Structure 1
């Protein structure tokens, strides 16, 4: 069981942590949140969706929904298979909790141990954060800031009714509604741009175009005119990214 406590030299000065990649549940509900900074790399490698649970929206790799496909993302034990690992799975024992206008770092004391081998010391001999810990916490802070931006963009899409179920009957995973996006104009278009919502929507659409959506759309896509040049570009980009 997790036991979180504020990270401090007094309580954790002689302990260390092990950089690991977290496993995921195989029950079909797992998803991995994706920050705005991660979107460009992930959109050309994984199908993306927008997940809405208990009023919170965020872009995700819908791992559980993809497990039954030809290229499952998890191994038999729930381990992440692809070479590129989302930061959400590399947080280690740390959690950053927003308190007022600042973030406080908490650590899971149940996974700390004496430094040595793969175990990285939390603090150095002077009582300061070790270089490895400081670098990791800096990356965590940057990722969380980017995640807040992603959540704001996803929420803006949801509130503007620019999403549709990712597949028929889906209640938590959504994809951009191409028709609704195409109809945007004027002030609403500017608002979606300012919030980052347009960028997020286009990244999710790009992921489905490049990867080939692993699940059918919620409704038949409208017929499109042949676009040999565009199709050739997508094929070339798929080959380059494979």
Structure 2
């Protein structure tokens, strides 16, 4: 499946009640995603694996995981559609179910390229005969509900950091084939600005749950080396030809998700962030 086939639509019983969803066999759907939003609860598992950045969003910023060195390219999806990194961001882990922005709200959507009305096509029902989400679908809904709340926490933290003048441009770069490659349009927390804040400003950032976000972003800069290696591996792959049947990996994506591990902590953490 190519990324051009992605067709996101809000999940609803009226539209999808009699339909079936198909499990993805690879991360091919994410091949053009150079960055994805990050939930605050995700940070303990993400640090050290992917660089975090702030990107402009309306009048503030959003915390993102950087997946590529250029727009429209995800260096962590290999030529066979497998994930080459150690951490899969929550934005990708429950595909074809995902969160989307719609009329100023975050809602649950499904990629209708992975939906069928054929009961014998190998898909699974989205809804029961009683009109309720099936167990697997409900599990995705519950998890993505937590992710949505946690993303809001990260958004509020980014807004608080911007209000205190802590976010600055990040002239980040990676080295590919021994040559530096500049990563444009990125922002980071300013360590100098953080160190210069007065106690009142520090208190405001603490109360907004923003200090942890800021220091997580700063620490994640070490993962630029991981991105550099992924970009180099991707470009090396592009120089080789692979057979057409090698697009999908062997195991279904769903089978490789540890659903217990996706529970990132206690419920109260959302509120504290």
Instruction: Please give the TM-score of this superposition, normalised by the length of structure 1.
Output: 0.70
**Does the CA-based 8 Å contact 2:54-2:187 persist in structure 1?**
yes
Aligned to 2:211: 198
Verify: 1:16 aligned to 2:16, yes or no: no
**Does the CA-based 8 Å contact 1:18-1:92 persist in structure 2?**
no
Aligned counterpart in structure 2 of residue 62 of structure 1, from 46, 50, 66: 66
Aligned counterpart in structure 2 of residue 85 of structure 1, from 82, 88, 91: 88
Verify: 1:126 aligned to 2:133, yes or no: no
Q: CA RMSD for the aligned pairs?
A: 3.4
Q: What's the secondary structure of 1:64's corresponding residue?
A: coil
Q: Deviations over 1:188-218 (max 9, x none)?
A: 1111111121110111122225776968xxx
1: CA distance, partners of 2:128 / 2:108? 17
**Does the CA-based 8 Å contact 1:23-1:79 persist in structure 2?**
no
Residues matched between the structures, number: 207
1: CA distance, partners of 2:108 / 2:51? 32
Any unmatched runs of 5+ in structure 1?
216-242
Verify: 1:164 aligned to 2:168, yes or no: yes
Task: Please give the residue correspondences for 1:27-176 in structure 2 after superposition, counting only pairs within 5 Å.
Answer: 30-65=34-69, 72-76=75-79, 80-95=83-98, 105-113=108-116, 114-115=118-119, 119-167=123-171, 172-176=185-189
2: CA distance, partners of 1:99 / 1:49? 23
**Does the CA-based 8 Å contact 1:23-1:80 persist in structure 2?**
no
Q: Deviations over 1:81-113 (max 9, x none)?
A: 224211111343445568899975444444311
1: CA distance, partners of 2:149 / 2:159? 16
Any unmatched runs of 5+ in structure 2?
173-181, 229-273
Post-superposition offset of 1:134? 0.5
78 and 161 in structure 1: CA distance in 2 versus 1, 3 angstrom threshold: farther
19 and 110 in structure 1: CA distance in 2 versus 1, 3 angstrom threshold: closer
Instruction: Please give the TM-score of this superposition, normalised by the length of structure 2.
Output: 0.63
Q: What's the secondary structure of 1:161's corresponding residue?
A: coil
170 and 108 in structure 1: CA distance in 2 versus 1, 3 angstrom threshold: closer
Verify: 1:25 aligned to 2:32, yes or no: yes
Verify: 1:4 aligned to 2:16, yes or no: no
